[in-house]
Structure 1
């Protein structure tokens, strides 16, 4: 029992961070020593977008994140069905799939 208590990690989640940041675009860059994930929110008709959050990871942690995401996506799809990806739309999701607005 004592050994388990020594290996425990208490993680604090503030209210502000718990709200999360919505992102519909991620840009990933890397160097020899780190991966940088920039999370961005873009809106239709707005030509400028700001980075809302940046996460910097070591290469090892980036690979652990990749594996954890793959595992979670597999579990999600087992319960909810395959996630559909739009074919041929590899660019920015500027139209958001909705009707075009008119003034």
Structure 2
């Protein structure tokens, strides 16, 4: 059975108490066998950030995540137009911050 077929048959259960979180900053760190994404909410006009979630995945899953994000963002831009980033001369938005550690 291929990975794609296995994923299509995957049943997902989301606990009733699981609440969505908002993060506008992500710290990415890694070791040889894992990649850790620390999702933070940077409080505007302060030098403070509050932790929202920590997700640790394998390097293989990180690469799959990168591919999935890339494919989804290409589809998004095809529908809604190019996403402008402040560092590329686009409009400044606090929620677009990503920190790579």
Is the alpha carbon distance of 1:33 and 1:48 closer, same or farther for their aligned partners in structure 2, counting shifts above 3 Å? same
Give the 5 Å matches for 1:1-103. 8-17=9-18, 19-87=19-87, 96=94
TM-score between the two structures when normalised by the length of structure 2: 0.73
CA distance in 1, matches of 2:68, 2:88: 27
- Report which structure shows greater RCO (CA 8 Å, sep ≥6): 2
Unaligned runs of 5+ in 2: 95-101
CA distance in 2, matches of 1:47, 1:84: 24
- How far residue 50 of structure 1 moved from its aligned partner, in angstroms, is 2.0
Between structure 1 and structure 2, the one with the greater Rg is: 1
- How far residue 15 of structure 1 moved from its aligned partner, in angstroms, is 3.7
CA distance in 1, matches of 2:39, 2:30: 15
Is the alpha carbon distance of 1:78 and 1:88 closer, same or farther for their aligned partners in structure 2, counting shifts above 3 Å? closer
Unaligned runs of 5+ in 1: 97-103
Bigger strand fraction: 2
The RMSD of aligned alpha carbons is 2.4
